[in-house]
């Protein structure tokens, strides 16, 4: 199978914060991969814009080093790297002052797509947006890309939206949630809406419950002080897990277009019921031989911030009433796994007696590791010995099914940046979605703050606190094993 790469239009992409961690780790290596995949026109340009005083050659060196450190196999293409570096430029700029803006204005070309990646702290978004207009750099067709965190509550998210809306229309604003750029996440939509097999079963008649797990093995380490003001709910649930929940639960949009998809996602968020306190479990990892405790990492011995959260929630609509959605995410857990699991109901009647009744169909969609899906089906155990049933996976690991093509699959950031250039907002969050997500999240956080809820300690390298297991056990269900 030959992968089809469709080149994008000619563009000027300005990366504000072009010397920062995100730019070096993700954005620039990602762009290089798209360049090697021949998706970027040879005339397109990438302009780093950041505070540091450096010239173009120094910036090219910075990017060369970033690709050497964070790039994949494509960095072996040294000739390609030189051509890519020649497309780069740099301007030292002050987001809060006037330095560099005239220079940047002089660098921009007419008649190409203009995109501005705000890879800086959100407190600078307003300054950047205002200056892009004052210096006549942005036009009505220009696009801006903004990063998480998009606010820390409803009020701050509304303020950020208003700041951006003062200078840009909603169809110019691309709010990145890199989970939406993952191949499997889009495949989830292909599987749901491209097959007749699943959609008829995708409701409370056939689905027992749905689990969404995003487990990380890393702790909060170097970013402990920042994380301690946020916690798992704000850092992961309000955005990433919420987006996954939307895609798994939404009604079929009438077409695969930006507003049709986002309208359906918004309806899911708005239909989420408030969560009872005993359906929320928060945790903090303990120290072990491999590392310090959460409180040590956060340098806050009295921290009440959660590094783990598990939630049982419900969606109040015809499709999902009565079907619990169990969400959990945490740091320093057993393995690094992101997975959505749809557990179907037991057979209404088993002709195989008790044995048949204990087997279930389970569809699991893995975002990492080994992106892919598997569907657990029940078959007869081969060989003599009567009718014994076993569960086997119908495995759709992309790397196995698609061979080398799977290795060429664009990483989430690359795909999303190319979508910005193409002007496709389908995989980006709309302002009202972000606000609705905060509107659901805020009362949960306010609730545990008012209760002075103390997170439960859990062993680093485990499945999280005992109470999270109980959240399921009480319902006669259990979490999927977290295995990488
Ligand atoms: P960073 O601190 O490494 O880099 C910040 C960049 O902003 C630097 O290039 C710096 O020169 C520039 N900058 C700061 N003040 C400026 C000013 N006044 N004028 C012009 N430029 C200025 O930050 P980062 O980790 O790259 O994060 C950037 C943004 O992306 C943040 O909003 C962060 O929350 C978000 N984000 C980062 C990651 C990550 O993995 N690093 C992941 C998700 C989201």
Residues 206-232, mean pLDDT to the nearest whole number: 95
CA-CA-CA-CA torsion sign (127, 133, 136, 141): positive
Alpha carbon distance 265, 189 (integer Å)? 12
Which domains, from first to last, does the chain contain? 11-147 (3.40.50.720), 180-409+432-473 (3.30.360.10)
* Residue closest by Cα to atom 4 of ligand 1: 20
* Matching residue, tokens 């740099």: 90
pLDDT value at residue 122: 93
Residue of 167, 240, 279, 314 marked catalytic:
240
**pLDDT at residue 1, as a whole number:** 47
Could you read off the pLDDT of 240-265 as tens digits, one per residue?
999 999 999 999 999 999 999 999 99
Residue 253 CB: number of other CB atoms within 10 A?
18
Other Cβ atoms closer than 10 A to 187: 18
Q: What is the pLDDT of residues 98-116, one digit of tens each?
A: 999 999 999 999 999 999 9
**Dmax (CA) of the chain:** 81
pLDDT tops 90 at residue 484: no
What DSSP character marks residue 26? I
> Residue 173 pLDDT more than 90?
yes
3-state secondary structure of 325: strand
Give pLDDT, residue 284: 98
Q: pLDDT band for position 183 (50/70/90)?
A: confident
Q: What is the pLDDT of residue 357?
A: 75
- Does residue 332 sit in helix, strand or coil? coil
**CA–CA separation, 141 and 16 (whole Å):** 18
**Sign of the C-alpha dihedral, residues 239, 194, 170, 95?**
positive
CB-based burial label for 91 (10 Å; 0-12, 13-18, 19+): buried
Render pLDDT for 392-450 as a digit per residue (tens, 0 to 9).
988 877 666 666 555 556 688 999 999 999 999 999 999 999 999 999 999 999 999 99
Q: What is the 413 CA–ligand 1 centroid distance (Å)?
A: 16
For a mutational test of ligand 1's pocket, the pick from 52, 103, 119, i.e. the residue with the most ligand atoms closer than 8 A to its C-beta, is 119
Q: Which of 195-204, 299-308, 348-357 has the lowest mean pLDDT?
A: 348-357
240 is catalytic: yes
Q: Does residue 218 have its Cβ closer than 6 Å to ligand 1?
A: no
- Token pair of 86, please? 């020649």
**Residues sharing a CB contact under 8 Å with residue 24, sequence separation 6 or more, in sequence order:** 62, 63, 66, 69, 70
Could you tell me the pLDDT band of residue 290, with boundaries at 50, 70 and 90? confident
Atom from ligand 1 closest to the CA of residue 122: 32
Please name the residues in contact with 92: beta carbons below 8 A apart, sequence gap of 6 or more. Answer: 49, 50, 51, 52, 53, 54, 99, 100
C-beta of 95 in contact with ligand 1 (< 6 A): yes
- Is ligand 1 within 6 A of the CB of residue 30? no
Q: What is the pLDDT of residue 217?
A: 95
Cβ atoms of 285 and 458 closer than 8 Å = yes
Asked if residue 428 lies in contact with residue 174, where contact means CB atoms within 8 angstroms, the answer is: yes
More confident residue, 4 or 395: 395
pLDDT tens sequence across 373-401 = 889 999 998 888 788 899 998 887 766 66
pLDDT in tens, 264-275: 999 999 999 999
Band the pLDDT of 362: cuts 50, 70, 90: very high
**In this structure, what token pair is assigned to residue 413?**
């950031």
Mean pLDDT for all residues in the chain: 93
Looking at per-residue pLDDT, the higher value among 440 and 223 belongs to 440
Look-up: residue for tokens 């700029």?
93
* CA atoms within a 13 Å half-sphere pointing along the CA-CB vector of 128: 25
Q: What is the pLDDT of residues 35-85, one digit of tens each?
A: 999 999 999 999 999 999 999 999 999 999 999 999 988 888 999 999 999
Residue 429 CA: distances (Å) to CA of 277, 395, 416: 28, 31, 12
């Amino acid at each position: 199978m030959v992968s089809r790469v469709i080149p994008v239009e000619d563009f000027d992409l300005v990366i504000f914060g072009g010397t920062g961690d995100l730019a070096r780790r993700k954005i620039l290596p990602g762009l290089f991969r798209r360049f090697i995949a021949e998706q970027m026109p040879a005339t397109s340009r990438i302009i780093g814009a950041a505070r540091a005083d450096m010239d173009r050659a120094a910036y090219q060196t910075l990017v060369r080093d970033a690709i050497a450190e964070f790039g994949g196999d494509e960095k072996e293409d040294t000739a390609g790297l030189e051509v890519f570096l020649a497309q780069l430029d740099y301007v030292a700029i002050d987001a809060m002052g006037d330095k560099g803006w005239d220079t940047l204005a002089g660098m921009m070309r007419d008649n190409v797509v203009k995109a501005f990646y705000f890879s800086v702290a959100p407190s600078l978004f307003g300054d950047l947006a205002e200056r892009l207009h004052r210096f006549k750099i942005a036009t009505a067709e220009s696009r801006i890309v903004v990063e998480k965190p998009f606010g820390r509550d409803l009020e701050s998210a509304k303020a950020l939206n208003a700041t951006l809306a003062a200078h840009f229309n909603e169809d110019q604003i691309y709010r990145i949630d890199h989970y939406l750029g993952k191949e499997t996440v889009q495949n989830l939509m292909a599987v749901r809406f491209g097959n007749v097999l699943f959609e008829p079963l995708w409701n409370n008649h056939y689905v027992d419950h749905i689990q969404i797990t995003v487990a990380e093995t890393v702790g909060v380490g170097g970013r402990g002080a920042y994380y301690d003001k946020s916690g798992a709910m704000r850092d992961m649930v309000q955005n990433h897990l919420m987006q996954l929940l939307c895609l798994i639960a939404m009604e079929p949009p009438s077409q695969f277009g930006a507003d049709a998809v986002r309208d359906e996602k918004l309806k899911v968020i708005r239909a989420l019921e408030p969560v009872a306190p005993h359906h929320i479990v928060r945790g903090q990892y303990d120290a072990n031989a491999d590392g310090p405790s959460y409180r040590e990492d956060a340098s806050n011995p009295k921290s009440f911030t959660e590094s783990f959260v598990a939630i049982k929630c419900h969606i109040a609509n015809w499709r999902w009433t009565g079907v619990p959605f169990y969400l959990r995410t945490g740091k320093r857990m057993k393995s690094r796994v992101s997975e959505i699991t749809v557990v179907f109901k037991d057979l209404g009647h088993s002709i195989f007696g008790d044995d048949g009744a204990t087997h279930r169909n389970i569809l699991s969609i893995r975002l990492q590791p080994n992106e892919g899906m598997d569907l657990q089906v029940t078959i007869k155990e081969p060989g003599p010995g009567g009718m014994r049933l076993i569960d086997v996976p119908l495995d759709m690991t992309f790397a196995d099914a698609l061979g080398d093509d799977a290795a060429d699959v664009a990483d989430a950031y690359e795909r999303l940046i190319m979508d910005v250039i193409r002007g496709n907002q389908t995989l980006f969050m709309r302002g009202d979605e972000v606000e609705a997500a905060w509107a659901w999240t805020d009362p949960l956080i306010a609730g545990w703050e008012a209760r002075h809820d103390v997170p439960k300690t859990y062993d680093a390298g485990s499945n999280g606190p005992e109470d999270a297991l109980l959240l399921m056990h009480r319902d006669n269900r259990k979490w999927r094993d977290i295995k990488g």
